[in-house]
Structure 1
Amino acid sequence: MQKGIFTGLLTCASALALSACGESQPPAPPPPAVGVVTLKTESAPLLNELPGRIAAVETAEVRPQISGVIRRRLFAEGGYVRAGQTLYEIDDAPYRAALAQAQGSLARANAAIASTSLQAQRYKDLVGMNAVSRQDYDNAVASAQQARADVAAQRGAVQAAQVNQNFTRISAPISGRIGRSLFTPGALVQAGQADALATIQRTDTVYVDVTQSAAQVIDLKQAIKNGGVSGGDGARIQLLLPNGSTYPIEGRLQFSEVTVDQTSGAVTLRATFPNPDGLLLPGMYVRAKLVEGQRTQAILAPQQGISRDPRGRATAMVVGKDNKVEMRQVEVDRAIGDKWIVTSGLKAGDRLIVEGLVNLRPGTVVKPGAPQQVTATQGGAPDGAHGAQGGAN
């Protein structure tokens, strides 16, 4: 009985084994699909984004040139004033009195010149007849000359008094926008005081002073000398405003400072921008995009195809021979839009992987294809995009 049971079990086991052997093996998974971009050489503009400050083309501080009490203010704060326009009036009573006194002294000197001149003429006739001594004649001539000198001095005193009286009306030295008034009517002001009454700035055109490191200047000059970069005219400059928007009018580069700042090691560049709407205010912080030149035979790699390894080095995944993934260490210069300028590690004809980078390893056989828009199923932007953005900082 037991022998029969054992025989039956053996038969069943054999049948199961034969059945398992007859089943087909599961198919191997297909190679993962990746999106690739075939790199090529092209010309790329060298854009440099530099920090800068807005400065007015003309700035003038309104200051008193005499001492006195302000009687009236004749402008609207923040308004536009013209050169020569009266801004303040200072009480002129003391200066009118000084002018009248100087005019009286001039009249007295004019009266004295008449009598001394006549006396000198009479003594000239008498000295020929020996009616007066030669000494008396010389004294009369000297008195007449002194009287004429007194007239000249009194004329100068009248002019000085007139100038001081004119200074009681303080005028705008330049045309432009005037700021707030730091002194009100009734305030005592003095010539040579430290504080200005107000400040006028001409802002229809403004300066933008930006700084660039001396190392960047040297790198650019060496690249131009070696032929890798063609020199640009340096005229095209765009501004990024504090709110992130782009100023609609391009500026022009005026000059580059001839010395390097010893504290910061930077060179100052100055550009001019039209400011018809008054949008650019002096002291405003901006960022300037400067076209430095044109790089020839440049390799532009999409930023999502460049990532960073744990040591911070830039890397890229490319599809090599037999569609196997290769990892390359690369060096990047700067970003042009959504691409990096690659200076080493990649060449024209390389198939750079820009999609499907998640969990991809070197040596993996892949199925390359045209890049598609990254979907949410791939976890958003690939790892390389995050690495590339981090490398730009």
Structure 2
Amino acid sequence: MTRKKQIIVPIVVLLTGIGLFGAFASMKKPPEEKPKVDNTPIVSVTPINVEPKQLSVDSYGVVMPKYETELVAQVSGQIVELSDVFVKGGFVRKDQVLAKIDASDYQAALIEADANLANAKAALEQEVAQGKVAEQEWKRITDTMPTELSLRKPQLAKELARVKAAQASVLRAQRNLERTEIKAPYDAMIESREIGLGAYVSTGRKIGKLLGTDIAEVRLPVADSQLEFLIDGGEQAKVILSGNYAGKKRTWQATIARSEGVIDANSRMSYLVAQIKDPYGLAHNDKPIRFGAYVTADILGMEVAAATAIPRYLVVDNKVAILDAEMKLRYVPVDIVRQEGPDVIISGGLHQGDQLITSALDYPVDGMQLALPKHLLDEESESAGDTQIASIKE
């Protein structure tokens, strides 16, 4: 009996334990299944806009007059008159009288020259008459050929030379008299005046300095590598100049007139010369671009039919990453025309509407699946819905 108990009791205990475990197990809730985590990389994109683009070359320079002239006295004398506009900063017209030198002595010299010319002409006429008389007398005396001396031809040549010398003296006296009036050789602005009323000036004395106001020039340094983006090396290219006037940003139109044709030994740059007509706006009443002003320049160059600008750091080995229609990464080779600051100009490889990936990827692989941020997906869904509604209405 005791032996049976020893066998039955453990079995009962074991069965009881199994029953209790089953009861407790049935009371326990099954573990919840964890949702699957989407590890697809999320990227930011920007749509590509392809459009015609005109390339330009940046430069800078200082505005200077095309013509500048130092006026000097060509005759001596006292300054007896000064024009009111003959002051620093004054504007004068071509042939306008700026100053007058006392002309009394030069008027007297002209009168004397005229008198000498009249005497020389009278002596010439007298010699011509005497030559004719000598010829007639020679014919009456003999039938032989007369000599030049007998016909008074040397005397005639002498009087003719005296007339020419007298004419030259008259021209010189007239020119000296005209030079007593100091005139502007062209439309100009007065940069300086070196004389005063009543001052005595001698021949060669500096009177003042003029700056031509018809045309201004700006020397624009251009790197040799940038000339390839200009048509015909920049000849006749349009230029947009920018600078400040009265505290405000202003722009002016200019044109490349010529190239200086050499490379500067110090800067290793080529120089193009831009010209601005009527820089002080005297004819058109425009805002002036003043001499001595510092300006920046955009030299307009060649046109690219289809181009887009993207940040330089997005281009690796002449390829960019785009998101295709299947939401996959694709590397596209591109044609780089040039670099403009932080951007590069692309002329081939990208198309209108391509999605350019602008965010960094840890381990990018061509063809890998990508995803867009939720707000971008919502915007695309709304856009697609609007398109479908519009199609139904139509």
Length-normalised TM-score, structure 2: 0.62
Indicate yes or no: 2:208 matched with 1:197. Answer: yes
Q: What letter corresponds to residue 338 of structure 2 in structure 1? A: D
Which residue of 269, 272, 277 corresponds with 1:268? 272
CA contact (8 A) 1:232 1:293 kept: no
User: What is the aligned-residue RMSD (CA, Å)?
Assistant: 4.9
Matching of residues 212-361 of structure 1 within 5 Å: 212-218=222-228, 236-242=238-244, 247-251=250-254, 253-257=255-259, 259-263=261-265, 264-273=268-277, 275=279, 276=281, 277=286, 279-301=288-310, 303=311, 307=313, 333-335=338-340, 340-342=344-346, 347-348=350-351, 351-352=355-356
SS at match of 2:150: helix
Aligned counterpart for 1:175 among listed residues 172, 180, 187: 187
Q: 2:177 matched to which residue of 1? A: 165
Q: Report SS of the residue matched to 2:107.
A: helix
2: CA distance, partners of 1:164 / 1:327: 83
Inter-partner Cα distance in structure 2 for 1:30 and 1:166: 96
User: Which residue is 1:49 aligned to?
Assistant: 58
Give the SS at the match of 2:108.
Answer: helix
State which drifts further: 92-101 or 26-35: 26-35
SS in 2 for 1:94: helix
Residue by residue, what CA displacement relative to the aligned partner does 1:188-226 show, whole Å, maximum 9, x if unpaired?
Answer: 444445x452204124x54444332222223667xx9xx
1:362 aligns with 362
Match of 2:192, SS state, is: coil
Q: Is the 8 A contact 2:236 2:256 kept in 1?
A: no
8 Å Cα contact 2:242/2:295 also seen in 1: yes
Distance 1:176 1:37, change over 3 A: same
Distance 2:375 2:46 in 1: 7
The secondary structure found in structure 2 opposite 1:174 is: coil
Kindly indicate whether the alpha-carbon contact (under 8 Å) linking 1:59 and 1:202 is maintained by their aligned counterparts in 2: no
Partner-residue secondary structure (3-state), 1:83: coil
Structure 1 unaligned blocks of 5 or more: 1-18, 225-230, 372-393
Listed one character per residue, the Cα deviations across residues 304-362 of structure 1 (whole Å, up to 9, x for unaligned) are xx5599xxx999887799989999999783349x9642579x855764455xx6xx662
Distance of aligned partners of 1:362 and 1:43 in 2 relative to their CA distance in 1, 3 Å threshold: farther
Q: Structure 1 residues 370, 113: closer, same or farther in 2, change over 3 A?
A: farther
| Secondary structure in 2 matching 1:89 | strand
Quote the Cα distance in structure 1 between the aligned partners of 2:148 and 2:236. Answer: 82
Matched position secondary structure for 2:159: helix
1:104–1:42 CA distance, 2 compared to 1 (3 A)? closer
Instruction: For residue 138 of structure 1, give the secondary structure of its aligned residue in structure 2.
Output: coil
Q: Equivalent pairs: percent with the same residue?
A: 22
TM-superposed deviation, 1:280: 1.0
**Are 2:132 and 2:151, in contact at CA under 8 Å, matched by a contact in 1?**
no
1:204-258: CA deviation from partner (whole Å, max 9, x where unpaired): x54444332222223667xx9xxxxxx999754322114696545544x354427
Contact residue 70 and residue 89 of structure 1 kept, 8 A: yes
What TM-score do you get using the length of structure 1 for normalisation?
0.62
Q: Which moved more, 1:233-242 or 1:169-178?
A: 233-242
Residue 37 of structure 1 and its aligned partner are, at CA, apart by 0.6
Q: CA 1:235–1:245 in structure 2 vs 1: closer, same or farther (change >3 Å)?
A: farther
For 2:228, the aligned partner's letter is I
Aligned length: 328
Deviation at 1:27? Answer: 11
Using the alignment, how far apart are the partners of 1:99 and 1:122 within structure 2? Answer: 35
1:13-65 per-position Cα deviation (integer Å, ceiling 9, x unaligned)? xxxxxx9x989999989999764213354433213222234344554443332
Q: Which runs of 5+ in 2 are unaligned?
A: 1-27, 365-369, 377-394
What is the aligned partner in structure 1 of residue 155 from structure 2?
A: 143
Bigger-Rg structure (1/2): 2
Amino acid in the other structure paired with 1:362: D
Change (3 A) 1:233 1:115: closer
Q: What CA distance in whole angstroms lies between the structure 1 residues aligned with 2:230 and 2:147? A: 87
CA distance in 2, matches of 1:175, 1:40: 50
- Does 2:90 match 1:86? no
> Shift in Å at residue 299 of structure 1?
3.7
Q: Contact 2:189/2:212 (CA < 8 Å) preserved in 1?
A: yes
